[in-house]
Chain A
Amino acid sequence: MAFLPPFSPVRASANPDFVVQCLFMDMTEQLKRQANRLLILVALVGILGLSFACGLKTAPELWTLKAVLESHAGDPLPPLGEVLAYLEREYYGPLPAGPVLTHGAIRGMLETLDDPHAQLIEPQNNVSAVEIFTGKYGDIGADLSWQDGWRLVPYPAGPAAEAGILPGERLWRLDGQDVSALTQAELKARLSGPVGSQVTLELERGCARYTQSLTRAEVLHPSVLAYRLAPEIGYLRLTQITEGTFEEARQALDNWPELQGLVLDLRGNAGGVVSALPALAGLFLPEGKTLYYEIRRTGTRPIQVQGDEGPFTGKLIVLIDPQTASAAEILASALQAYQRAELFGQASAGKASMQIAYPLADGATIVLTNALWEDPLHRSVAPQGITPDRVLAPEPAGQEDPVLQAALEALPAP
């Protein structure tokens, strides 16, 4: 028996019995086709609707993502910008101002360095740390001392001296604000500011209070204390090493042409500007000698003594203590290495690293260790410090200074 395909129209017309059936089937087929069309239409609408819904559902996320991505274009530290974008959108509470966030990020970067000296210093009164290091900032030119309150001791030259302020005048107010609760560092920071800016002081002379306005100027902050211990014995105390130290020390030495011996006191000197050292060392060492070796990631190079006048050649004794650090140690170590001086006192701090102070555009300063140094004999001071030729412990406060005494005894008798 042959299999008859039921939908064959030929067969259908040939067999009347099949006609009804086939008519019916035609109808079914039509219906089915219509149903199919309907189905396709429904499916199409369904697919389109679904696509639309998907789009609608994805939209917020996608647009957010786009916004987030756009908002941190130019971020040099991805995903830092993403983080900030999320904070801006939904953080509970106000966000700190831009500079605070930026400085926070910089501090965080510095903390990942294995460098105990790395830090970010905020500008004080618009004066950056670099300006303070180099002494190139505006100031009124006066020391501070405390006696029932803050008192001014004007430098020989500077705005305070020019205005006629006398040593010991009491400072009551600064720009209208009471200063009695400020620390010395805070008050110093408030007295300094950009060169040319104004500061108003309320002072007391005798029993009268008066107000004095001063224009801040770049003043030389003295870093050298110089006097004679005997007619032919000089004493130079370097409190820190600034760009002005060389000039101050040179002037003192020029004033003493008959000098036989000199005490160079570096006790308590925490260092300062390394670039001031070659000229300063030229007061005691011949030009061209290696002062120290600077070791950087890119290599080691010798830094040489500079000088054109010829050094002091008399007997030299250098005093050091545990606070003698960094640039002061470089100087002491070189003088010891060339046997140019005898070192008296206690072992120095032992700081063999050097830092760069890098001013940022917004006034903050990044401090970063950028080199190590070794003395002319390739000795490093870390961590033990320089061992003095004569170890001498200081007496308790208020007593005679036995270290200075020993130095005096070691110098040629007058």
Chain B
Amino acid sequence: MRKVVLGLIAFALVLMLSTAAFLGGLLVGRNTAAPLPSPTPVVPGSTVTPSPATGSPTPTPDARLNYALLQETLDLINSEFYGKIPDASKLTYGAIRGMLNTLGDPYTSFIEPDVARIINEDASGQFEGIGATVRMREDGYLEVVRPLAGQPAEKAGLKAGDLIVEVDGKSIVGMGLYEALNLIRGKAGTQVTLKVLRENEKDPLTFTITRARIEMPIVEYRMLDNGIGYISLSEFDAKATQRVDDAIKALQEQGMEALIFDLRDNPGGWLDQALGVADLFLKDGVIAIERSSDGQEQVFKAHAGDRAEAIRMVVLVNGGSASASEIVAGALQDRGRAILIGQNTLGKGSVQRPHDLSDGSQLRVTIARWFTPNDRSIHGNGLKPDIEVQIPENTPAGEDPQLQRALEYLQQGQ
């Protein structure tokens, strides 16, 4: 009994001491500054940095918004407006968007909770769902663009062009894309019933599909003629570096001697993945330089020891190559590691940091600009390809003059 009491006292003492130590740490850490909530993934199309900024200034008290005027506006709407008064959250999101519009920066953006959930999953490289890419058509129908090979949607018989009209008995026609996706996705192992319209079928078809954990197929690779390998990367999700490396390994085992790396229509993604992918092809030296508006500079460098540091290569780019894609293409072009073939890239040279807000929505703030190893800014300009190849409008389906030119270059050296 006495032992138990002693033990308890000792335990309490240790607990108190460790709490004190924790608080001490907090106090000491107060001055080490600044600080950010842990980053979360964001949609492709923006470059996000997971690295915390160092030493930002102490936050100033928020004196910029006139809260009294906002309250007055709210009161006015509530008391006077003739018509349906939107939910409080809708008004709030409107206010946030309206405020962000005044910045004139399309990349500093606000994402509502429903949408944030989906894009966080997408950027992580895996999600739980039925495994089909879909798009919301302008007429309000959700169309299956492509059922992923070997995934539940394909196994159940869903086809490209199918229009999903009901999910578990609930109509999704006219619903927002992300709202609909939130209904279709769900825990692996659970079932979802879809009602689908298909061309040449008079009545709607019903599919019951068991959801599974889906890895997003962002990398495609194959061996072309004469030992030339081809890898395309469709976005820089959280696993991009690993998957490109796996593809390189597989192609090298098949005797790859030169590589075509396709970044066309790749809208970007994680900054650390862009650095990782560029590093696969570079032995050392600068990959990119990031500068914040207060002049702080961070230089990202490559490290030796990757399997593709010497392979002859061409990078394919076009107007859909943005952000993280431009970091990789710009680094390889500046460092003389690869030539770019295709069309001018988009020109998004800014870096966003995501923040999860208290209500589950997400804010992405432009925090810096990045520059190529030769200190070129691509913001607004994009990268000019070394060999420009347009795709004429009458190009037959299945032909790819840009890929063709890349093959020619690697085979003939010019």
* Chain A interfacial positions (CB closer than 8 Å to B): 44, 47-65, 67-68, 70-72, 74-115, 295-297, 353, 356, 358, 360-362, 366, 368-372
Number of interface residues of B (CB under 8 A): 84
Min CB–CB distance B103 → chain A (angstroms): 7
**Interface residue from B25, B65, B86, B92 paired with A102 (Cβ < 8 Å):** B65
Kindly identify which residue among A79, A98, A115 contacts B64, using a CB–CB cutoff of 8 Å: A98
Instruction: Tell which of B61, B72, B84, B86 touches A360, judged by Cβ atoms closer than 8 Å.
Output: B72
Known: A79-B358, A80-B96, A115-B81. 10 other contacts (CB 8 A): A48-B21, A64-B36, A79-B359, A83-B100, A89-B56, A90-B365, A92-B365, A105-B95, A356-B76, A358-B76
- A98 and B66 in contact, given A59-B30, A63-B35, A112-B90 (Cβ under 8 angstroms): yes
Q: Chain B 30-61 against A: per-residue CB contact (8 Å), 1 yes, 0 no? A: 10111111100000000000001100111111
Which residues of chain A are within 8 angstroms of B183 by Cβ–Cβ distance? none
Q: Which residues of B contact A61 (CB under 8 A)?
A: 35-38
- Of the candidate stretches B171-179, B203-211, B265-273, B366-374, the one touching chain A is B366-374
Min Cβ gap B26→A in Å is: 4
Contacts of A100 in B (CB 8 A): 102
> Across the interface, do B71 and A76 meet the contact criterion of CB distance under 8 Å?
yes
Indicate if the CB atoms of B99 and A92 lie closer than 8 Å: no
Among the listed A52, A296, A297, which residue makes an inter-chain contact with B21, where contact means beta carbons less than 8 Å apart?
Answer: A52
Contact A59 B66 (CB under 8 A): no
A59 in contact with B28 (CB, 8 Å):
yes
* Chain A facing B: main interface SS: helix
Given contacts A368-B76, A369-B83, contact A86 B24 (CB under 8 A): no
> B74 at the A/B interface (Cβ < 8 Å)?
yes
- Contact flag A67-B76 (CB < 8 Å), given A51-B19, A61-B37, A83-B110: no
Contact A88 B22 (CB under 8 A): no
Stretch at the interface among B136-144, B309-317, B349-357, B392-400: B349-357
Is B363 interfacial (CB 8 A cutoff)?
Answer: yes
Contact flag A90-B56 (CB < 8 Å), given A47-B14, A108-B95: yes
B102 → chain A, closest Cβ, in Å?
A: 4
Contacts of B299 in A (CB 8 A): none
Q: CB within 8 A of B59: which of A57, A71, A113? A: A71
The answer, yes or no, to whether B73 is at the interface (CB within 8 Å) is: yes
* Contact digits for B74-113, partner A, Cβ 8 Å, 1 yes 0 no: 1011001111111000111111111111110100101000
A108 and B22 within 8 A (CB) = no
* Contact partners of A95 in chain B: CB under 8 A: 64, 103
Instruction: Map CB proximity to A onto B324-366 as digits: 1 under 8 Å, 0 otherwise.
Output: 0000000000000000000000000010010101110101011
Q: B4 on the interface (CB 8 Å rule)?
A: no
